[in-house]
Structure 1
Amino acid sequence: MSDPVLLDVRNLSVEFSMARSRMGLGPPRSLSAVSDVSMRVAAGETVGLVGESGSGKSTFGRAILRLGEVTAGEVFLDGQDMARARREDLARLRRETAMIFQDPYGSLNPRLTVRQAIGEVLYVHGKVGPGAAEARIAELLDLVGLDPALMDRRPGDLSGGQCQRVGIARALAIEPRLIVADECVAALDVSIQGQIINLLMELGQRMHLGMIFIAHDLAMVRRLCDRIAVMYLGRIVEEGPTEEVFKDPRHPYTRSLIEAIPEIDPARGLPSAPLPGEPPSPVDLPQGCAFHPRCPLARPECCAAVPPLVGPRAHRAACILAPGGRLNEAGGNLSETLSATPHERTMTC
């Protein structure tokens, strides 16, 4: 029997208002950071969220925890919509969810010792009595592989890996059911990254945590995550079981990201046709599919409308050429389509 759905995000959008020009001319403009994104996370499941910088991953993660504003959509935690939550519901959200931030030093108050940083969380959420705080802090430090003797150190006295472990211990102090890990290993050395990933895998299994793991490193996501969602300019363009997405990518953007994963094998050359250019400005998105200016398979039809996610429920892609798409109802293989279809990269709408 599958685990129950813990988080159910439906059609979430986040927009930011932009200042007018210095001359005050023209209508007010807005930047669409997240557009109509839906995602489900079951208890005990880890979902990877990947994409280039500026794709809206961090904004999405902060919005579902109400650390940022939600413009439209619904965020259900155990059936309760937190996007329009009242004060008592938000208090419950704070008790049951936590975030691990990217910068291990910036996420900790440099003036507080490890004891104070974790003890503050325990005190605010009423997790332990006055006499039991030290024992619980020691237990949490041991849980994340740190010596409790570090309890009276400050962030400046610790390495980046140790600070990130303290951040994880602080997140676990509230005994959350859902964790959003936002690029939590990006600032660490490669050897330390592996240790933190192993730690998150172990904790997820031991505590049956739901987790959204936001990252650039697809190889790391492949190791840690049960499912993967690929985001481009604020939209999910592909989602599915991790191994299935890696073995059979159904969106050209996903395929380009996977081809760009570094390999130790010297016999494996660089991608023959690397993804060209930069993502367009989210303030002035292209018509139709936002990826079409960079897509090796772009057709005139790609300019007509934003393609929906199509395909089997378990593995879907937002592309007219994906299985179930408007130009590929019979299904097909993206690699075969790419090699058989000539393309002019200069195509414009």
Structure 2
Amino acid sequence: MPDSDIILEGKNLNKSYVDKGKKLQALKDVSFFLKNGEILGIVGESGSGKSTLLRHVSCLEKPDSGNLYYKGTEYTGKSPAFAGAFLQMIFQDAQMSFDPRMKMKKAVVEATKGCGHEKLSRILEAVGLDESLLEKKAGSMSGGQCQRMSIARALCSDAGILLCDEATSALDVTTQAQVVALLQQLREKEGVSIIFVSHDIALVSMLCDRIMVMKNGECVEEGETGKVLGNPQHEYTKELLDNLIE
């Protein structure tokens, strides 16, 4: 694979915290890469380090050691605003990510430092939302509508990378399927690259090109989704698949 295909990369990331005098290793020498136009799935149980990794990728936290690169240029230790120019987070509870006092139009435009009407209209159409929702506040919208608006807000920023942290886990099955279809469509039509964090292996198997399995802050297995899930090499991956079958 040519290095030019890699849009985002992390090398040997480590992070530890101290809790009640005890050192907890949240990330242990984690490395990953994301190719242009690719969807990378990260799976593992709660506490495996999935969300911690995304917080470091988005510069919400700084690693104790290791490096982050965007298109080959290091950005380790930069501000969240710096990283926000090329990547955006989509959170589990989209409704909570909006100011409840603010109408959607203001929330989206302010968060992206200005988004023209023509561009906003095109993006709303792409995510399947009517422009009338711009006059509503988060509390009067459904979970699926809020999640779509959250994705629209990210796209308005011109970020080419979406970081989805359990972005569908709070949605009902029907809405979940709609959001997954939307992410696939955005990858195909807009060329968006996505890191999709989830505890749901079945969902990841349908959506993602490659998969990364995390346990206790470590990446224990990584590769093309079909190969990893069809012939898992690590016992933990086998255990996750066994639980899925049960």
Report TM bin, short chain.
over 0.9
Q: Please state how far the C-alpha of 1:170 moved relative to its aligned partner.
A: 0.6
Residue 208 (structure 1) aligned with residue 198 (structure 2): no
Q: 1:68/1:136 Cα in 2 relative to 1: closer, same or farther (>3 Å)?
A: same
Which string of whole-angstrom CA distances, capped at 9 and with x for unpartnered residues, describes residues 30-50 of structure 1?
221111100011100111000
1:107 is aligned to: 97
Asked which structure has the greater RCO (Cα within 8 Å, sep 6+), the reply is 2
Q: Please state how far the C-alpha of 1:136 moved relative to its aligned partner.
A: 2.9
Q: Please state how far the C-alpha of 1:121 moved relative to its aligned partner.
A: 2.5
**Partners of 1:102 and 1:186 within 8 A in 2:** yes
Q: Please state how far the C-alpha of 1:92 moved relative to its aligned partner.
A: 4.2
- The residue matched to 2:40 in structure 1 has which SS? strand
Pick aligned residue for 2:59 from 66, 69, 80: 66
Q: Please state how far the C-alpha of 1:211 moved relative to its aligned partner.
A: 1.1
Which is helix-richer, 1 or 2? 2
Pick aligned residue for 2:242 from 240, 251, 259: 259
Q: Percent identity?
A: 38
Count of aligned positions: 245
Residue 135 (structure 1) aligned with residue 128 (structure 2): no
**Partners of 2:59 and 2:77 within 8 A in 1:** no
- The residue matched to 2:244 in structure 1 has which SS? coil
Letter aligned with residue 96 of structure 2: G
1-structure distance, mates of 2:134, 2:69: 37
Residue 18 (structure 1) aligned with residue 8 (structure 2): no
What is the TM-score of this pair, normalised by structure 2? 0.94
Residue 8 (structure 1) aligned with residue 9 (structure 2): yes
1-structure distance, mates of 2:16, 2:68: 16
What is the TM-score of this pair, normalised by structure 1? 0.67
**Partners of 2:62 and 2:77 within 8 A in 1:** no
Which string of whole-angstrom CA distances, capped at 9 and with x for unpartnered residues, describes residues 265-299 of structure 1?
xxxxx3xxxxxxxxxxxxxxxxxxxxxxxxxxxxx
> 1:1-349 residue pairs with structure 2 within 5 A?
4-20=5-21, 29-85=22-78, 91-122=81-112, 124=113, 128=115, 133-261=116-244, 270=246
1-structure distance, mates of 2:82, 2:141: 32
Q: Please state how far the C-alpha of 1:177 moved relative to its aligned partner.
A: 1.7
Q: Please state how far the C-alpha of 1:117 moved relative to its aligned partner.
A: 1.1
Aligned CA-pair RMSD: 1.6
Q: Please state how far the C-alpha of 1:69 moved relative to its aligned partner.
A: 2.3
Which is strand-richer, 1 or 2? 2
Q: Please state how far the C-alpha of 1:256 moved relative to its aligned partner.
A: 1.3
1-structure distance, mates of 2:84, 2:171: 27
1:327 is aligned to: none
Letter aligned with residue 54 of structure 2: G
1:265 is aligned to: none
**Partners of 1:115 and 1:137 within 8 A in 2:** no
In structure 2, stretches of 5+ residues that fail to align are none
Q: Please state how far the C-alpha of 1:10 moved relative to its aligned partner.
A: 0.3
Which string of whole-angstrom CA distances, capped at 9 and with x for unpartnered residues, describes residues 83-119 of structure 1?
144x6xx654221111100112111111111111111
> Radius of gyration: which is bigger?
1
Which string of whole-angstrom CA distances, capped at 9 and with x for unpartnered residues, describes residues 128-181 of structure 1?
4xxxx3333332222110111111000111000001001110111111121110
**Partners of 1:35 and 1:235 within 8 A in 2:** yes
2-structure distance, mates of 1:208, 1:136: 16
Letter aligned with residue 183 of structure 1: E
**Partners of 1:102 and 1:184 within 8 A in 2:** yes
1-structure distance, mates of 2:95, 2:111: 17
1-structure distance, mates of 2:7, 2:151: 20
2-structure distance, mates of 1:260, 1:82: 38
- The residue matched to 1:198 in structure 2 has which SS? helix
- The residue matched to 1:259 in structure 2 has which SS? helix
